[in-house]
Structure 1
Amino acid sequence: MDYSQEYKQKLVSADEAVKVVQSGDWVDYGWCNATANALDKALAKRTDELKDVKLRGGILLKPLAVFEREDAGEHFTWNSWHMSGIERKYISRGFAYYAPIRYSELPRYYYDLDCKNDVAMFQVAPMDKHGYFNFGPNASHMMAVCENSKKIIVEVNENMPRCLGGFENSIHISKVDMIVEGPNDPIAEMGAGGPATDVDKAVAKLIVEEIPNGACLQLGIGGMPNAVGSLIAESDLKDLGVHTEMYVDAFVDIAKAGKINGSKKNIDRFRQTFGFGCGTKKMYDYLDDNPEMMSAPVSYTNDIRSISALDNFISINNAVNIDLFGQVNAESAGIKQISGAGGQLDFVLGAYLSKGGKSFICCSSTFTTKDGQLKSRILPTLDNGSIVTDTRANTHYVVTEYGKVNLKGLSAWQRTEALISIAHPQFRDELIKEAEKMHIWRRSNK
């Protein structure tokens, strides 16, 4: 069937399309590298006409046009499912807010809760011959967005990779209200960060020696997971699989090194399964039309039942800090939101339930403040206002450059002893003193 006539009928300018947005509306901007672009600029032109427009999205990779004006907060608010550095700045300006989630549940929020949209607008790949617009590397929750929005506007970008192989990764033209052809800007990228530090490499080495042949991998974003990926690419490991929330550049390196074939996966054999992808052009080019990839919603990729069905599941994620009870904060500095919960807890739970599975929370033992002070990431208790991303009962392995410990099944004093053993030596005596005050220290040996 030829959909070219329907395409022409629905094709409008960005300025025309955004006229459907009214004061008080909820408007979904999409997700990550598919965030509205031309449509955002067009909506910004209507700022003076609009009040209390509530925008929704997450992981902004570049500033939005609607927030360029100083008085933007009087007209728009940003409601984020996951924060980037740009969104942290928006919070400090008073018009952005984080929505706490368990990422695997996000599609359900749209279906079952009060997360309906008046308008959804987001970037897509060009329509294929069957009339479908692919969501690019953002299956995530986008079908739920579309099925719970009164109006759907797609912004076509010829540079958007087509990510196939799974389900709920495309929308048909029959479900679309308006089509806007964007300026075809390059897809926004998220760099892999600088080269791995000695600390990153030390942590990576401790984790990689725990990974068996045939393991299934999930990597979080950041220097340490990327260092793990680099070390895996250089290792003798083989027959690895991928089942991850976020597809990152490190997976491309591992795959091109011949380490990934998915042959040992219990489900989705030979496929690299992911909920969304964000990285560099190298990664986008690898994802594009790649039959090995499986783009699927997070209600599947992050479901504990999916994760636990995969033997030898290895989950590797970062932390901001951790306390002596084993509580992990991976998303805030006190009350200051840094990122979000994402799917970390989903993978911590799922990996532990997997036969032979292991969940690793990794961090450097210390960090340096802007004024040059050295601070421990292992604390007696989390700082006031810090968010508990992973509860103490669910924390499995914790790794710093000083070692790795398995907290499962340990009593309070054993946990304390284990965590202090991988803290920076400079802070161990201080941690012991605080642990004694809290009555969770039993031994005097270090």
Structure 2
Amino acid sequence: MKPEIFLEYLDGFKKAYPEKFASENEIFRHIRRGDHIFVASGCGEPQYLVQALIRYVESNPKAFFDAEIIHIYSLGLAPYAGAKYKANFRHNSFFVGNSTRDSINAGMADYTPISLSQLPALLASGAVRIDVALIQTSMPDEHHYLSLGVSVDVVKAATEKAKIVIAQINPNMPRIHGDGFIHIKDVDFIIPYDEPLLEVSKTQASDVIKTIGKNVA
């Protein structure tokens, strides 16, 4: 979708919900010290929101400390897991990806092993606390519903428990049928940004990986 068409389509929604289309500084000002921040995972990871969050911390280094970033699996960059932001963030991953593995091995981030199917219930019960959810969605439809697109997994459960839901509306996110919709009224803030979705790249398994696979099988 051409940028001008993307922005023109959202004009009506901006007029209907002006408070949701605030500036990035205003949006991230609502995150408090010690908040638990859920970041949607896999191919649905809101890359721009992560970058915007880091920019906010760099320009406001004392804005919040000891916030926990909760991630299922990251395909994108995870600067919050590095030493530079250790005073601001503590990363907790339920599945280990390339961008977080070194930090976890170095003790700068946490790994919580768990079955993916158990997570929605833990979020719903409050056992895993969520204060802020950063998600990525499709364009809103005529009924003002946003689709969570290619990465529903536990995102729906996270949005239902989060006190603040921040959505990156991306025209590249497809609208998927099923129980993966969220109404725009249930989103607190919206940041429109057009960028390619993350993709899982196909790599050749090493001999070590093949040996591990045989042992597991």
Which bin holds the TM-score, normalised by the shorter protein? 0.7 to 0.9
Mapped to 1, the partners of 2:86 and 2:211 lie a distance apart of 29
* 2:146 is aligned with 1:133: yes
Shift of 1:58: 2.2
1:368 is matched with: none
Q: How does 1:60-75 map to 2 (within 5 A)?
A: 60-67=74-81, 70-75=83-88
Task: Report % sequence identity.
Answer: 25
Q: What is the DSSP-based 3-state SS (H/G/I as helix, E as strand, rest coil) of the residue aligned with 1:45?
A: helix
Q: What is the DSSP-based 3-state SS (H/G/I as helix, E as strand, rest coil) of the residue aligned with 2:29?
A: helix
Q: What is the DSSP-based 3-state SS (H/G/I as helix, E as strand, rest coil) of the residue aligned with 1:171?
A: strand
Mapped to 1, the partners of 2:120 and 2:210 lie a distance apart of 25
1:25 is matched with: 35
Contact 1:12–1:178 at 8 Å: present in 2 too?
yes
Higher percent of residues as helix:
2
Mapped to 2, the partners of 1:20 and 1:319 lie a distance apart of 46
1:95 is matched with: 108
1:193 is matched with: 203
Which of the numbers 152, 163, 177 marks the counterpart of 2:188? 177
* 2:127 is aligned with 1:117: no
2:157 is matched with: 144
| Larger-Rg structure | 1
Structure 2 residues not aligned, in runs of 5+: 1-11
Mapped to 2, the partners of 1:193 and 1:81 lie a distance apart of 22
Shift of 1:152: 0.7
* 2:45 is aligned with 1:35: yes
May I ask how many residue pairs the two structures share in their alignment?
Answer: 200
Q: How does 1:308-327 map to 2 (within 5 A)?
A: 321=212
Matched to 1:81, the amino acid is: F
1:87/1:193 CA distance change after superposition, 3 Å: same
Shift of 1:123: 1.2
Higher percent of residues as strand:
1
1:289 is matched with: none
TM-score (norm 2): 0.82
1:12 is matched with: 22
Q: What is the DSSP-based 3-state SS (H/G/I as helix, E as strand, rest coil) of the residue aligned with 1:63?
A: coil
Contact 2:78–2:99 at 8 Å: present in 1 too?
no
Mapped to 2, the partners of 1:320 and 1:129 lie a distance apart of 52
Mapped to 2, the partners of 1:187 and 1:100 lie a distance apart of 26
Q: What is the DSSP-based 3-state SS (H/G/I as helix, E as strand, rest coil) of the residue aligned with 1:71?
A: helix
Mapped to 1, the partners of 2:155 and 2:211 lie a distance apart of 29
Shift of 1:38: 2.3
Shift of 1:62: 1.7
Q: How does 1:28-427 map to 2 (within 5 A)?
A: 28-47=38-57, 48-49=61-62, 50-67=64-81, 70-164=83-177, 166-167=178-179, 169-182=180-193, 184-194=194-204, 321=212, 363-364=213-214, 377=215, 398=217
Contact 1:90–1:96 at 8 Å: present in 2 too?
yes
Shift of 1:95: 2.4
Mapped to 2, the partners of 1:41 and 1:191 lie a distance apart of 22
Mapped to 1, the partners of 2:17 and 2:151 lie a distance apart of 23
Contact 1:43–1:66 at 8 Å: present in 2 too?
no
Mapped to 1, the partners of 2:153 and 2:37 lie a distance apart of 17
Mapped to 2, the partners of 1:87 and 1:320 lie a distance apart of 23
Contact 2:135–2:155 at 8 Å: present in 1 too?
no
1:319/1:152 CA distance change after superposition, 3 Å: farther
Structure 1 residues not aligned, in runs of 5+: 200-317, 322-362, 365-376, 379-397, 399-446
Mapped to 1, the partners of 2:181 and 2:75 lie a distance apart of 22
Shift of 1:191: 1.1
Contact 1:82–1:98 at 8 Å: present in 2 too?
yes
